[in-house]
Structure 1
Amino acid sequence: MDKKIVLITGTNSGFGWLTAHSVAASGHKVYATMRHTNGKNADKAEALSQVKNITVLDVSLTDETSVKNAFDTIIAKEGTIDVLVNNAGGAMFGVAESSTTEDVQRMLDINMIAPWRLMKLAIPYMRKQSEGLIINISSGWGRFSAPFAVVYAASKFGLEGLSEGLHYELRPLGVDVTIIQPGAFPTEMSQKIQFGSDTSVVDEYKAIADVPGKMGTARDQMFETANPDPQDVADAVVKLINMPKGQRPLRTVVDPTTGEFIKRANEAVNVEYGNILTAFGMKGLLN
Protein backbone atom coordinates (compact mmCIF):
# COMPACT_ATOMS: atom_id res chain seq x y z
CA MET A 1 0.00 0.00 0.00
CA ASP A 2 1.31 3.44 -0.93
CA LYS A 3 1.46 5.88 1.94
CA LYS A 4 -0.77 8.85 1.12
CA ILE A 5 -0.86 12.42 2.39
CA VAL A 6 -4.38 12.92 3.76
CA LEU A 7 -6.04 16.16 4.91
CA ILE A 8 -9.12 15.67 7.09
CA THR A 9 -11.25 18.55 8.37
CA GLY A 10 -13.31 18.72 11.54
CA THR A 11 -11.28 16.21 13.53
CA ASN A 12 -12.03 17.40 17.06
CA SER A 13 -15.06 15.11 17.37
CA GLY A 14 -17.46 12.70 15.70
CA PHE A 15 -16.72 11.28 12.29
CA GLY A 16 -13.59 13.39 11.88
CA TRP A 17 -12.02 12.21 15.13
CA LEU A 18 -12.65 8.56 14.27
CA THR A 19 -11.58 9.00 10.66
CA ALA A 20 -8.27 10.62 11.61
CA HIS A 21 -7.45 7.69 13.89
CA SER A 22 -8.54 5.07 11.36
CA VAL A 23 -6.69 6.58 8.39
CA ALA A 24 -3.52 7.03 10.46
CA ALA A 25 -3.77 3.44 11.70
CA SER A 26 -3.87 2.34 8.05
CA GLY A 27 -0.40 3.81 7.61
CA HIS A 28 -1.25 7.06 5.86
CA LYS A 29 0.07 10.47 6.91
CA VAL A 30 -2.81 12.54 8.31
CA TYR A 31 -3.08 16.30 8.66
CA ALA A 32 -6.02 16.82 10.99
CA THR A 33 -7.67 20.22 11.18
CA MET A 34 -9.77 21.78 13.90
CA ARG A 35 -10.34 25.22 15.41
CA HIS A 36 -9.25 26.51 18.81
CA THR A 37 -6.31 24.14 19.32
CA ASN A 38 -5.06 26.43 22.08
CA GLY A 39 -8.54 26.99 23.50
CA LYS A 40 -11.60 24.80 23.91
CA ASN A 41 -10.16 22.03 21.72
CA ALA A 42 -6.70 22.04 23.31
CA ASP A 43 -7.17 18.64 24.96
CA LYS A 44 -8.45 17.09 21.72
CA ALA A 45 -5.59 18.62 19.73
CA GLU A 46 -3.02 17.36 22.20
CA ALA A 47 -4.48 13.85 22.25
CA LEU A 48 -4.63 13.64 18.47
CA SER A 49 -1.09 14.97 18.14
CA GLN A 50 0.17 12.03 20.17
CA VAL A 51 -1.15 9.53 17.62
CA LYS A 52 1.37 8.12 15.17
CA ASN A 53 1.06 9.56 11.64
CA ILE A 54 -1.12 12.54 12.72
CA THR A 55 -0.24 16.24 12.65
CA VAL A 56 -2.84 18.68 13.95
CA LEU A 57 -3.38 22.05 12.28
CA ASP A 58 -5.45 24.93 13.65
CA VAL A 59 -7.70 26.02 10.80
CA SER A 60 -10.84 28.12 10.49
CA LEU A 61 -12.40 26.75 7.32
CA THR A 62 -14.45 29.85 6.62
CA ASP A 63 -11.31 32.03 6.67
CA GLU A 64 -9.52 32.11 3.31
CA THR A 65 -6.16 33.05 4.83
CA SER A 66 -6.32 30.39 7.54
CA VAL A 67 -7.07 27.66 4.99
CA LYS A 68 -4.36 28.84 2.60
CA ASN A 69 -1.76 28.96 5.37
CA ALA A 70 -2.58 25.41 6.46
CA PHE A 71 -2.47 24.15 2.90
CA ASP A 72 0.88 25.85 2.29
CA THR A 73 2.23 24.18 5.44
CA ILE A 74 1.30 20.75 4.09
CA ILE A 75 2.77 21.44 0.66
CA ALA A 76 6.00 22.78 2.19
CA LYS A 77 6.43 19.55 4.18
CA GLU A 78 5.05 16.96 1.76
CA GLY A 79 5.17 18.55 -1.67
CA THR A 80 1.65 17.47 -2.53
CA ILE A 81 -1.66 16.19 -1.18
CA ASP A 82 -3.17 12.84 -2.16
CA VAL A 83 -6.49 12.75 -0.32
CA LEU A 84 -8.83 15.48 0.91
CA VAL A 85 -11.64 14.51 3.29
CA ASN A 86 -14.13 17.36 3.71
CA ASN A 87 -15.77 16.20 6.91
CA ALA A 88 -16.32 19.40 8.91
CA GLY A 89 -19.83 20.75 8.83
CA GLY A 90 -22.65 22.31 10.76
CA ALA A 91 -26.30 21.45 11.28
CA MET A 92 -29.35 23.69 11.44
CA PHE A 93 -32.84 22.51 12.27
CA GLY A 94 -36.19 24.05 13.06
CA VAL A 95 -38.81 26.01 11.14
CA ALA A 96 -37.22 27.07 7.86
CA GLU A 97 -38.83 30.51 7.91
CA SER A 98 -37.01 31.29 11.14
CA SER A 99 -33.70 31.22 9.26
CA THR A 100 -32.45 34.65 8.31
CA THR A 101 -30.38 35.36 5.23
CA GLU A 102 -27.34 35.41 7.51
CA ASP A 103 -28.28 32.00 8.93
CA VAL A 104 -28.51 30.51 5.45
CA GLN A 105 -25.23 32.12 4.44
CA ARG A 106 -23.55 30.62 7.50
CA MET A 107 -24.73 27.12 6.62
CA LEU A 108 -23.59 27.49 3.01
CA ASP A 109 -20.22 28.85 4.17
CA ILE A 110 -19.62 25.86 6.42
CA ASN A 111 -21.11 23.02 4.40
CA MET A 112 -20.48 24.06 0.79
CA ILE A 113 -18.12 27.00 0.33
CA ALA A 114 -15.51 25.80 2.85
CA PRO A 115 -15.20 22.37 1.14
CA TRP A 116 -14.92 24.12 -2.22
CA ARG A 117 -12.17 26.37 -0.85
CA LEU A 118 -10.13 23.28 -0.03
CA MET A 119 -10.97 21.48 -3.25
CA LYS A 120 -9.83 24.50 -5.26
CA LEU A 121 -6.44 24.31 -3.54
CA ALA A 122 -6.05 20.54 -3.75
CA ILE A 123 -7.16 19.84 -7.32
CA PRO A 124 -4.15 21.41 -9.10
CA TYR A 125 -1.74 19.14 -7.21
CA MET A 126 -3.89 16.09 -7.86
CA ARG A 127 -4.17 16.91 -11.55
CA LYS A 128 -0.42 17.38 -11.82
CA GLN A 129 0.28 13.90 -10.45
CA SER A 130 -2.70 12.38 -12.33
CA GLU A 131 -3.93 10.89 -9.09
CA GLY A 132 -5.93 12.07 -6.12
CA LEU A 133 -9.05 11.53 -4.11
CA ILE A 134 -11.61 13.96 -2.69
CA ILE A 135 -14.14 12.56 -0.23
CA ASN A 136 -16.99 14.89 0.68
CA ILE A 137 -19.06 13.93 3.71
CA SER A 138 -22.65 14.81 2.86
CA SER A 139 -25.82 13.39 4.42
CA GLY A 140 -28.96 11.48 3.61
CA TRP A 141 -30.48 14.96 3.68
CA GLY A 142 -28.24 15.71 0.72
CA ARG A 143 -30.63 13.56 -1.30
CA PHE A 144 -33.95 14.48 0.37
CA SER A 145 -34.84 17.83 1.90
CA ALA A 146 -36.83 17.17 5.04
CA PRO A 147 -39.20 19.48 6.90
CA PHE A 148 -37.37 21.24 9.74
CA ALA A 149 -34.01 20.47 8.11
CA VAL A 150 -34.52 22.65 5.03
CA VAL A 151 -31.50 24.95 5.29
CA TYR A 152 -29.17 22.13 6.35
CA ALA A 153 -30.39 20.00 3.45
CA ALA A 154 -29.96 22.88 1.02
CA SER A 155 -26.31 23.24 2.03
CA LYS A 156 -25.73 19.52 1.55
CA PHE A 157 -27.55 19.64 -1.81
CA GLY A 158 -25.00 22.25 -2.80
CA LEU A 159 -22.08 20.07 -1.71
CA GLU A 160 -23.51 17.14 -3.65
CA GLY A 161 -23.96 19.33 -6.71
CA LEU A 162 -20.30 20.30 -6.63
CA SER A 163 -19.23 16.71 -6.05
CA GLU A 164 -21.39 15.03 -8.69
CA GLY A 165 -20.25 17.18 -11.60
CA LEU A 166 -16.62 17.07 -10.48
CA HIS A 167 -16.74 13.28 -10.26
CA TYR A 168 -17.16 13.05 -14.03
CA GLU A 169 -15.09 16.14 -14.89
CA LEU A 170 -11.97 15.07 -13.00
CA ARG A 171 -12.03 11.29 -13.39
CA PRO A 172 -10.47 11.39 -16.89
CA LEU A 173 -7.58 13.35 -15.34
CA GLY A 174 -6.93 10.66 -12.72
CA VAL A 175 -8.73 12.36 -9.81
CA ASP A 176 -11.65 10.69 -8.03
CA VAL A 177 -14.37 12.71 -6.31
CA THR A 178 -16.71 10.76 -4.07
CA ILE A 179 -19.55 11.42 -1.64
CA ILE A 180 -20.32 9.63 1.61
CA GLN A 181 -23.94 9.96 2.73
CA PRO A 182 -24.19 9.13 6.44
CA GLY A 183 -27.56 8.70 8.05
CA ALA A 184 -28.36 9.65 11.63
CA PHE A 185 -25.63 8.68 14.09
CA PRO A 186 -25.15 9.44 17.80
CA THR A 187 -22.27 11.93 17.52
CA GLU A 188 -21.37 15.24 19.13
CA MET A 189 -23.04 17.11 16.24
CA SER A 190 -26.38 16.71 18.00
CA GLN A 191 -24.98 18.93 20.78
CA LYS A 192 -24.02 21.68 18.31
CA ILE A 193 -27.25 22.07 16.33
CA GLN A 194 -28.03 25.63 15.29
CA PHE A 195 -31.49 27.16 14.98
CA GLY A 196 -32.90 30.03 12.99
CA SER A 197 -32.40 33.49 14.47
CA ASP A 198 -35.86 34.86 13.64
CA THR A 199 -37.84 33.25 16.45
CA SER A 200 -40.75 35.65 15.94
CA VAL A 201 -42.31 33.35 13.31
CA VAL A 202 -42.19 30.11 15.28
CA ASP A 203 -45.58 30.62 16.95
CA GLU A 204 -47.20 30.74 13.51
CA TYR A 205 -46.39 27.02 13.10
CA LYS A 206 -48.38 25.72 16.06
CA ALA A 207 -50.40 23.46 13.77
CA ILE A 208 -47.31 21.29 13.21
CA ALA A 209 -45.42 22.09 16.39
CA ASP A 210 -45.45 18.45 17.50
CA VAL A 211 -43.72 17.15 14.35
CA PRO A 212 -40.11 17.81 15.43
CA GLY A 213 -40.77 15.87 18.63
CA LYS A 214 -42.14 12.95 16.61
CA MET A 215 -39.05 13.06 14.40
CA GLY A 216 -36.85 12.87 17.48
CA THR A 217 -38.80 9.97 18.90
CA ALA A 218 -38.61 8.05 15.61
CA ARG A 219 -34.86 8.68 15.43
CA ASP A 220 -34.32 7.43 18.98
CA GLN A 221 -36.33 4.29 18.24
CA MET A 222 -34.20 3.65 15.15
CA PHE A 223 -31.06 4.10 17.24
CA GLU A 224 -32.29 1.49 19.69
CA THR A 225 -33.08 -0.97 16.90
CA ALA A 226 -30.10 -0.46 14.59
CA ASN A 227 -27.50 0.76 17.13
CA PRO A 228 -25.63 2.79 14.47
CA ASP A 229 -21.87 3.03 15.00
CA PRO A 230 -20.10 6.23 13.82
CA GLN A 231 -16.99 4.14 13.22
CA ASP A 232 -18.73 2.82 10.10
CA VAL A 233 -18.24 6.21 8.46
CA ALA A 234 -14.53 6.22 9.28
CA ASP A 235 -14.25 2.68 7.90
CA ALA A 236 -15.96 3.80 4.68
CA VAL A 237 -13.37 6.56 4.26
CA VAL A 238 -10.50 4.10 4.70
CA LYS A 239 -12.10 1.72 2.21
CA LEU A 240 -12.41 4.46 -0.41
CA ILE A 241 -8.81 5.56 0.10
CA ASN A 242 -7.55 2.02 -0.41
CA MET A 243 -9.66 1.30 -3.50
CA PRO A 244 -7.98 1.46 -6.94
CA LYS A 245 -8.16 4.74 -8.80
CA GLY A 246 -11.13 4.98 -11.15
CA GLN A 247 -13.10 2.27 -9.36
CA ARG A 248 -14.47 4.38 -6.52
CA PRO A 249 -18.26 4.93 -6.61
CA LEU A 250 -19.71 8.42 -6.76
CA ARG A 251 -21.86 7.85 -3.67
CA THR A 252 -21.45 5.59 -0.64
CA VAL A 253 -24.40 5.36 1.74
CA VAL A 254 -23.52 4.61 5.38
CA ASP A 255 -26.83 4.35 7.16
CA PRO A 256 -28.18 1.25 8.95
CA THR A 257 -31.56 2.91 9.62
CA THR A 258 -32.91 4.56 6.46
CA GLY A 259 -30.03 3.81 4.11
CA GLU A 260 -31.99 1.55 1.78
CA PHE A 261 -34.28 4.45 0.88
CA ILE A 262 -31.26 6.61 0.02
CA LYS A 263 -29.62 3.84 -2.00
CA ARG A 264 -32.73 3.24 -4.10
CA ALA A 265 -33.07 6.97 -4.77
CA ASN A 266 -29.41 7.18 -5.78
CA GLU A 267 -29.77 4.24 -8.16
CA ALA A 268 -32.85 5.70 -9.83
CA VAL A 269 -31.29 9.13 -10.25
CA ASN A 270 -28.05 7.62 -11.55
CA VAL A 271 -29.90 6.03 -14.46
CA GLU A 272 -31.48 9.30 -15.51
CA TYR A 273 -28.24 11.18 -14.91
CA GLY A 274 -26.59 8.91 -17.44
CA ASN A 275 -29.36 9.68 -19.90
CA ILE A 276 -28.83 13.42 -19.39
CA LEU A 277 -25.09 13.23 -20.01
CA THR A 278 -25.72 11.10 -23.08
CA ALA A 279 -28.27 13.58 -24.42
CA PHE A 280 -25.72 16.37 -24.09
CA GLY A 281 -22.96 14.46 -25.85
CA MET A 282 -21.03 13.46 -22.71
CA LYS A 283 -21.64 9.70 -22.70
CA GLY A 284 -17.89 9.06 -22.77
CA LEU A 285 -17.53 10.56 -19.30
CA LEU A 286 -19.76 7.86 -17.82
CA ASN A 287 -17.16 5.12 -18.33
Structure 2
Amino acid sequence: MTVPRTTPEPTAPPPARRRARPGRIAGHAVLVVAAAALLLPFFWMVSSSLKADNAVFAIPVSWFPDSPRWANYAEIWRVSDLLGWLKNTVFLSVVVTALQLLTGSFAAYGFAKARFPGRNLLFVLYIGTIAVPWQAYMIPQFILMSEVGLTDTPWAVIALQAFGAFGVFLMRQYYATIPDELCEAARVDGLSEYGIYLRIVLPLSVPALASLALLTFVTTWNDYLGPLIYLRDPDLWTVQLGLKSFVSEYNAEHALIMTGSVLSVLPVAVVFLLGQRYFVQGIATSGMKG
Protein backbone atom coordinates (compact mmCIF):
# COMPACT_ATOMS: atom_id res chain seq x y z
CA MET A 1 0.00 0.00 0.00
CA THR A 2 1.49 3.28 -1.09
CA VAL A 3 0.98 6.42 0.84
CA PRO A 4 0.23 9.36 -1.42
CA ARG A 5 2.72 12.16 -1.16
CA THR A 6 1.33 15.44 -0.09
CA THR A 7 2.81 18.73 -1.11
CA PRO A 8 3.65 20.81 1.93
CA GLU A 9 1.79 24.01 2.12
CA PRO A 10 3.98 27.10 1.65
CA THR A 11 4.74 28.76 4.90
CA ALA A 12 4.43 32.48 5.26
CA PRO A 13 7.69 34.39 5.79
CA PRO A 14 8.41 35.45 9.34
CA PRO A 15 6.86 38.75 10.40
CA ALA A 16 10.28 40.31 10.85
CA ARG A 17 11.23 39.38 7.30
CA ARG A 18 7.97 40.78 5.95
CA ARG A 19 8.65 44.03 7.77
CA ALA A 20 12.21 44.12 6.49
CA ARG A 21 11.22 44.07 2.82
CA PRO A 22 9.40 47.44 2.81
CA GLY A 23 12.21 48.92 4.88
CA ARG A 24 14.82 47.64 2.45
CA ILE A 25 12.88 48.99 -0.53
CA ALA A 26 12.55 52.36 1.15
CA GLY A 27 16.26 52.38 1.96
CA HIS A 28 17.16 51.59 -1.65
CA ALA A 29 14.81 54.31 -2.85
CA VAL A 30 16.49 56.86 -0.57
CA LEU A 31 19.93 55.79 -1.85
CA VAL A 32 18.78 56.09 -5.47
CA VAL A 33 17.43 59.59 -4.84
CA ALA A 34 20.63 60.63 -3.04
CA ALA A 35 22.80 59.22 -5.86
CA ALA A 36 20.70 61.05 -8.45
CA ALA A 37 21.06 64.31 -6.51
CA LEU A 38 24.83 63.88 -6.40
CA LEU A 39 25.14 63.00 -10.07
CA LEU A 40 22.78 65.73 -11.29
CA PRO A 41 25.44 68.53 -11.32
CA PHE A 42 27.84 66.28 -13.25
CA PHE A 43 25.14 65.43 -15.75
CA TRP A 44 24.36 69.12 -16.22
CA MET A 45 28.08 69.85 -16.69
CA VAL A 46 28.41 67.19 -19.40
CA SER A 47 25.22 68.35 -21.07
CA SER A 48 26.33 71.99 -21.00
CA SER A 49 29.66 71.09 -22.57
CA LEU A 50 27.74 70.01 -25.69
CA LYS A 51 25.67 73.19 -26.00
CA ALA A 52 26.18 76.60 -27.50
CA ASP A 53 27.23 79.39 -25.13
CA ASN A 54 23.82 81.10 -25.12
CA ALA A 55 22.07 77.81 -24.31
CA VAL A 56 24.00 76.90 -21.17
CA PHE A 57 22.08 79.19 -18.81
CA ALA A 58 18.89 79.39 -20.85
CA ILE A 59 15.57 79.53 -18.98
CA PRO A 60 13.85 77.09 -18.74
CA VAL A 61 16.77 74.72 -18.21
CA SER A 62 17.35 72.30 -21.07
CA TRP A 63 18.87 69.09 -19.73
CA PHE A 64 19.62 67.69 -23.15
CA PRO A 65 21.25 69.71 -25.95
CA ASP A 66 19.11 70.12 -29.05
CA SER A 67 22.06 69.52 -31.34
CA PRO A 68 25.21 68.34 -29.53
CA ARG A 69 28.27 70.40 -30.38
CA TRP A 70 31.12 67.92 -30.25
CA ALA A 71 33.33 70.60 -31.73
CA ASN A 72 33.65 72.07 -28.23
CA TYR A 73 35.92 69.18 -27.30
CA ALA A 74 38.21 70.00 -30.20
CA GLU A 75 38.06 73.76 -29.64
CA ILE A 76 39.19 73.60 -26.00
CA TRP A 77 42.55 72.11 -27.03
CA ARG A 78 43.11 74.90 -29.54
CA VAL A 79 42.32 77.91 -27.35
CA SER A 80 44.04 76.69 -24.18
CA ASP A 81 47.10 74.79 -23.03
CA LEU A 82 44.95 72.01 -21.63
CA LEU A 83 47.39 69.30 -22.70
CA GLY A 84 50.25 70.94 -20.79
CA TRP A 85 48.06 71.44 -17.71
CA LEU A 86 47.03 67.80 -17.75
CA LYS A 87 50.63 66.64 -18.14
CA ASN A 88 51.74 68.72 -15.16
CA THR A 89 48.83 67.48 -13.05
CA VAL A 90 49.44 63.85 -13.95
CA PHE A 91 53.13 64.20 -13.11
CA LEU A 92 52.44 65.73 -9.70
CA SER A 93 49.63 63.31 -8.86
CA VAL A 94 51.57 60.18 -9.82
CA VAL A 95 54.80 61.20 -8.06
CA VAL A 96 53.07 62.35 -4.87
CA THR A 97 50.92 59.20 -4.80
CA ALA A 98 53.94 56.92 -5.25
CA LEU A 99 55.89 58.71 -2.50
CA GLN A 100 52.96 58.67 -0.09
CA LEU A 101 52.50 54.95 -0.66
CA LEU A 102 56.18 54.38 0.09
CA THR A 103 56.50 56.65 3.12
CA GLY A 104 53.07 55.91 4.55
CA SER A 105 53.31 52.12 4.32
CA PHE A 106 56.89 52.04 5.62
CA ALA A 107 56.17 54.31 8.61
CA ALA A 108 52.98 52.38 9.36
CA TYR A 109 54.95 49.15 9.48
CA GLY A 110 57.17 50.62 12.14
CA PHE A 111 54.21 51.77 14.22
CA ALA A 112 52.28 48.50 13.79
CA LYS A 113 54.85 45.70 13.84
CA ALA A 114 58.10 47.08 15.28
CA ARG A 115 58.67 47.26 19.02
CA PHE A 116 60.42 50.31 20.46
CA PRO A 117 59.94 52.54 23.54
CA GLY A 118 57.37 55.31 23.16
CA ARG A 119 55.85 53.85 20.00
CA ASN A 120 52.22 54.53 20.90
CA LEU A 121 52.94 58.04 22.20
CA LEU A 122 54.88 58.93 19.07
CA PHE A 123 52.08 57.57 16.90
CA VAL A 124 49.46 59.66 18.74
CA LEU A 125 51.59 62.79 18.41
CA TYR A 126 52.17 62.18 14.72
CA ILE A 127 48.51 61.50 13.98
CA GLY A 128 47.59 64.58 15.99
CA THR A 129 49.10 66.71 13.24
CA ILE A 130 46.03 65.91 11.15
CA ALA A 131 44.05 68.28 13.40
CA VAL A 132 46.42 71.19 12.63
CA PRO A 133 45.12 73.17 9.62
CA TRP A 134 47.55 73.71 6.78
CA GLN A 135 46.99 77.46 6.94
CA ALA A 136 48.67 77.49 10.37
CA TYR A 137 52.06 76.46 8.99
CA MET A 138 51.67 77.51 5.37
CA ILE A 139 53.91 80.59 5.71
CA PRO A 140 56.81 78.77 7.46
CA GLN A 141 56.68 76.11 4.75
CA PHE A 142 56.85 78.74 2.04
CA ILE A 143 59.84 80.41 3.73
CA LEU A 144 61.55 77.03 3.97
CA MET A 145 60.94 76.22 0.31
CA SER A 146 62.21 79.69 -0.64
CA GLU A 147 65.39 79.20 1.37
CA VAL A 148 66.21 75.92 -0.37
CA GLY A 149 65.32 77.33 -3.79
CA LEU A 150 62.36 75.06 -4.61
CA THR A 151 59.74 77.73 -5.24
CA ASP A 152 58.38 77.92 -8.77
CA THR A 153 59.24 74.25 -9.27
CA PRO A 154 57.00 71.18 -8.96
CA TRP A 155 59.45 69.74 -6.42
CA ALA A 156 58.15 72.12 -3.76
CA VAL A 157 54.66 70.62 -4.01
CA ILE A 158 56.10 67.10 -4.17
CA ALA A 159 58.34 67.62 -1.12
CA LEU A 160 55.48 68.98 0.98
CA GLN A 161 52.97 66.30 0.01
CA ALA A 162 55.25 63.25 -0.05
CA PHE A 163 54.46 62.56 3.62
CA GLY A 164 50.98 62.34 5.09
CA ALA A 165 49.79 61.43 8.58
CA PHE A 166 46.48 60.16 7.25
CA GLY A 167 48.23 57.62 5.04
CA VAL A 168 50.25 56.36 8.00
CA PHE A 169 47.07 56.06 10.07
CA LEU A 170 45.20 54.19 7.33
CA MET A 171 48.02 51.73 6.67
CA ARG A 172 48.73 51.19 10.36
CA GLN A 173 45.09 50.29 11.00
CA TYR A 174 45.21 47.78 8.18
CA TYR A 175 48.51 46.30 9.36
CA ALA A 176 46.84 45.67 12.73
CA THR A 177 44.63 43.07 10.99
CA ILE A 178 47.71 41.08 9.90
CA PRO A 179 48.58 38.48 12.57
CA ASP A 180 51.82 39.20 14.43
CA GLU A 181 52.59 35.47 14.27
CA LEU A 182 53.47 35.86 10.58
CA CYS A 183 56.13 38.44 11.37
CA GLU A 184 57.43 36.47 14.34
CA ALA A 185 57.77 33.32 12.23
CA ALA A 186 59.63 35.30 9.57
CA ARG A 187 62.02 36.69 12.20
CA VAL A 188 62.67 33.17 13.47
CA ASP A 189 63.51 32.14 9.91
CA GLY A 190 66.08 34.93 9.74
CA LEU A 191 64.16 37.43 7.60
CA SER A 192 65.06 41.05 8.28
CA GLU A 193 62.51 43.76 9.04
CA TYR A 194 62.90 45.09 5.51
CA GLY A 195 62.28 41.61 4.16
CA ILE A 196 59.18 41.18 6.29
CA TYR A 197 57.89 44.54 5.09
CA LEU A 198 58.55 43.81 1.41
CA ARG A 199 57.78 40.10 1.18
CA ILE A 200 55.01 39.59 3.72
CA VAL A 201 53.27 42.77 4.80
CA LEU A 202 53.06 44.65 1.50
CA PRO A 203 51.62 41.74 -0.56
CA LEU A 204 48.88 41.35 2.06
CA SER A 205 48.06 45.08 2.01
CA VAL A 206 46.91 45.59 -1.57
CA PRO A 207 43.38 46.83 -0.63
CA ALA A 208 44.75 49.41 1.82
CA LEU A 209 47.43 50.51 -0.64
CA ALA A 210 44.78 50.92 -3.34
CA SER A 211 42.62 52.99 -1.00
CA LEU A 212 45.52 55.24 -0.05
CA ALA A 213 46.58 55.58 -3.69
CA LEU A 214 43.08 56.57 -4.77
CA LEU A 215 42.61 59.12 -1.99
CA THR A 216 46.05 60.65 -2.52
CA PHE A 217 45.68 60.80 -6.30
CA VAL A 218 42.29 62.54 -6.11
CA THR A 219 43.46 64.98 -3.42
CA THR A 220 46.59 65.92 -5.37
CA TRP A 221 44.69 66.21 -8.64
CA ASN A 222 42.12 68.58 -7.10
CA ASP A 223 44.63 70.63 -5.12
CA TYR A 224 44.44 74.31 -5.98
CA LEU A 225 46.04 76.26 -3.14
CA GLY A 226 49.39 74.42 -3.12
CA PRO A 227 50.13 74.90 -6.83
CA LEU A 228 48.80 78.46 -6.62
CA ILE A 229 51.43 79.33 -4.00
CA TYR A 230 54.45 77.52 -5.46
CA LEU A 231 53.88 77.35 -9.24
CA ARG A 232 54.05 80.82 -10.77
CA ASP A 233 55.33 79.91 -14.22
CA PRO A 234 52.34 79.26 -16.55
CA ASP A 235 54.27 76.36 -18.07
CA LEU A 236 54.09 74.61 -14.67
CA TRP A 237 50.41 75.20 -13.99
CA THR A 238 48.17 72.30 -13.11
CA VAL A 239 44.73 71.83 -14.61
CA GLN A 240 43.10 73.61 -11.66
CA LEU A 241 45.21 76.74 -12.12
CA GLY A 242 44.87 76.55 -15.87
CA LEU A 243 41.08 76.36 -15.76
CA LYS A 244 40.96 79.29 -13.36
CA SER A 245 42.97 81.40 -15.78
CA PHE A 246 40.84 80.15 -18.66
CA VAL A 247 37.67 81.18 -16.86
CA SER A 248 39.12 84.65 -16.29
CA GLU A 249 40.09 85.03 -19.94
CA TYR A 250 37.04 83.38 -21.55
CA ASN A 251 34.39 84.23 -18.96
CA ALA A 252 31.68 84.37 -21.63
CA GLU A 253 32.57 81.03 -23.22
CA HIS A 254 30.39 78.99 -20.86
CA ALA A 255 30.29 75.89 -23.03
CA LEU A 256 34.08 75.74 -23.33
CA ILE A 257 34.43 76.24 -19.57
CA MET A 258 32.15 73.26 -19.01
CA THR A 259 34.11 71.27 -21.58
CA GLY A 260 37.36 71.94 -19.74
CA SER A 261 35.72 70.99 -16.46
CA VAL A 262 34.55 67.68 -17.90
CA LEU A 263 38.03 66.87 -19.21
CA SER A 264 39.57 67.75 -15.84
CA VAL A 265 37.18 65.45 -13.95
CA LEU A 266 37.34 62.55 -16.41
CA PRO A 267 40.76 61.11 -15.35
CA VAL A 268 39.74 61.10 -11.68
CA ALA A 269 36.46 59.37 -12.51
CA VAL A 270 38.27 56.69 -14.51
CA VAL A 271 40.78 56.07 -11.71
CA PHE A 272 37.98 55.82 -9.15
CA LEU A 273 35.93 53.41 -11.26
CA LEU A 274 38.95 51.17 -11.78
CA GLY A 275 39.89 51.11 -8.10
CA GLN A 276 36.57 51.34 -6.30
CA ARG A 277 36.48 47.63 -5.40
CA TYR A 278 39.85 47.83 -3.66
CA PHE A 279 38.93 51.18 -2.16
CA VAL A 280 35.80 49.85 -0.47
CA GLN A 281 37.60 46.73 0.70
CA GLY A 282 40.54 48.68 2.09
CA ILE A 283 38.37 51.19 3.96
CA ALA A 284 36.14 48.42 5.35
CA THR A 285 39.03 46.35 6.69
CA SER A 286 41.19 49.21 7.99
CA GLY A 287 38.95 49.62 10.99
CA MET A 288 39.04 45.93 11.96
CA LYS A 289 41.34 44.67 14.65
CA GLY A 290 43.05 41.37 13.89
Question: Do both proteins adopt the same fold according to a TM-score greater than 0.5, normalized to the shorter chain?
Answer: no
Structure with more contact order per residue of length (Cα contacts < 8 Å, sep ≥ 6): 2
Which is greater in Rg?
Answer: 2
What TM-score do you get using the length of structure 2 for normalisation?
0.22
Query: Between Structure 1 and Structure 2, which shows a larger proportion of strand residues?
Result: 1
What TM-score do you get using the length of structure 1 for normalisation?
0.22
